[in-house]
Amino acid sequence: MAFDGIFLRQIVKQLQSVNGSHINKIYQISDTEILFILYQQKKFQLMVSCHSSYNRIHLTEREYPTRNNPSNFIMLMRKYLEGGTITSIEQAGLDRYLVISVANRNEIGDRITIDVYVELMGKYANLILVSDGRIIDALKRIPPFENTKRTIHPGALFKVTESQPDKIDPFSIDHVSDSDNLFEKLIGFSPLLSDEVRFRLNHGQSYREILKQIDESDKVYVSANDMFHCIPLTHLNIPYDSYPICQGLDEIYFAREERERIRQQTGDLFKFTRREIKKCETKIQRLNASLEDALNCDIWRRYGEALYGNMDQVTKGMTKVTLTGYDGEELTIPLDPRLDVKGNARKCFQKYRKGSTGQKYIEEQLRQAEENLSYFNLLDQQLQQADFLTAREIRQELERNGYMKRKKTRAPKKKQEEPKFLKISFNEKFIYVGKNNIQNDYITFKKAGRVDTWFHVKDLHGAHVVITTSHPSEEEIRLCAQLAAYYSRARESSSIPVNYTLIKHIKKIPGSKIGLVSMSEYNTIYIDIDENYLKQFINA
């Protein structure tokens, strides 16, 4: 990566297009990501990330999931910045921070100016609100007892990050030696850019030509190893792609931070589901042992009968005895030496009654434990394939069913939103794909019509897939079957059986968990997954 001062300089040029914009909304995407919705004749989205590895600022056209319960800092930003106008966006020299000045009015209508400092310095990345030289608040606070050089705390005097006076502005000189350590000598240069410039100097390109190419660049060049800068990294000698600079940053970072957001959302969910799976497996093992004892309880009746029929052969203090039962079979009977023959006989009949009456209870407990194990295995599989919104809905399902404690939130109650299932337009029809139980239940019993066609992988956990027709073509059947197989535990298999039928043949299983259904009739197709073919629909 090379989000250095030189690269930030080129981004700031792109950001001048939103100078004068009105700040309409501020959203929190994750713990370290903030999205500004701006208007100036048209809508702009400004992404700021203070992630320790992916810190950056750029315009974006991607759709990001936003939090329903924003942090106190986001609420404070909304108070001071929403409704304001951006009056300037300036980089401090070639340092890795910039200042966004916002003009607004306070509660009593007086004009105020808020400076938003966006510091993009790796693990020290931060976003700080400053007014009249004092800190209002920051995304990451640094109390005075943690850092003697710089305090980032509400009410503290704001100190800008220390510059590097021993370094030279690369645009103020006309020549460098190819033997110079440019990273140590020039401000704004990363080791990656330093290596590239030295490589070009060694191959005959002049320093001024290189700087001119950097200065005029409005693109980002991304090498196959994900290294990037605003000029091609020819010294790496590997293929690269070029993008408009802001679009390129989306290409580089969107998927990575999506994985990070999913990790934040699913980390405790994975722990929870796998803990529940282990508990269910242990319970099933214990219940099976109890059931085996219950099923063998008749032997205790035979022991009791044999003891009553041979009372003269048993004395108190014996630990076992071998007697002939009523059927003529010899029985070795364990005895309690503290009891006489009648006491041991009564104890045997008690064990017989306990086993015979407990059998139904154990079988019901075993059925429930196996159902729970199947349910948590299903959630675990869904989490492995989940995007951020799908994972959030799985959490809501667990909270709704009482498995997890509902998180407290200040957010006002909103009208129930439609689950964010995958929707594909194909051959003038729609295909709906559920990626968790809430989505599965919704598309099967609320979204789909009675004569739409429903698909599901056979005998395994997986997605409900619906196409809005009662007579799908072979091409449509194969696509829907592939989607059902892809979003299931059978993803890595071949010749995967997928059942399909009309919605009217699908019924909820009474008393079962959400998303579990039965079919009264169906057909089956065996399908292989073509991931390259599916990606054009999944990523559309």
Q: For position 163, what pLDDT does the model report?
A: 74
Q: Which residues of the chain have pLDDT under 70?
A: 1-2, 147-148, 265, 407-416, 540
Q: For position 540, what pLDDT does the model report?
A: 62
Backbone angles phi, psi at 56, to 5 degrees: -175, 170
What is the C-alpha separation between 8 and 10, in angstroms, rounded?
Answer: 5
Q: What is the mean pLDDT of the chain?
A: 89
Q: For position 515, what pLDDT does the model report?
A: 82
Three-state secondary structure of 331-354? EEEECCCCCCHHHHHHHHHHHHHH
Q: For position 414, what pLDDT does the model report?
A: 53
Q: For position 64, what pLDDT does the model report?
A: 84
| Other Cβ atoms within 10 Å of 62 Cβ, number | 13
**What contacts 329, CB < 8 A, 6 or more positions away?**
none
Where do the DSSP E strands lie in 182-234?
Answer: 219-223, 228-229
Q: For position 407, what pLDDT does the model report?
A: 64
Q: For position 2, what pLDDT does the model report?
A: 62
Q: For position 419, what pLDDT does the model report?
A: 86
How many helices (H) and strands (E) in the chain?
A: 12, 22
Where do the DSSP E strands lie in 226-326?
Answer: 228-229, 240-244, 320-324
* Structure tokens, 494: 């071949």
Give the residue from 120, 139, 144, 143 showing the smallest Cα distance to 129: 139
Q: For position 530, what pLDDT does the model report?
A: 93
DSSP three-state, residue 246 = helix
Q: For position 164, what pLDDT does the model report?
A: 77
0.85 exceeded by pTM: no
Asked if 435 and 487 count as a contact pair (C-beta separation under 8 A), the reply is yes
Q: For position 226, what pLDDT does the model report?
A: 85
Tokens 């990451």 locate to 140
Give the residue from 453, 429, 463 showing the smallest Cα distance to 505: 453
Asked if 525 and 476 count as a contact pair (C-beta separation under 8 A), the reply is no
Asked if 119 and 161 count as a contact pair (C-beta separation under 8 A), the reply is yes
Q: Radius of gyration over alpha carbons of the chain, in Å?
A: 34
- Full DSSP string of 269-282: HHHHHHHHHHHHHH
Instruction: DSSP letter for 409, please.
Output: -
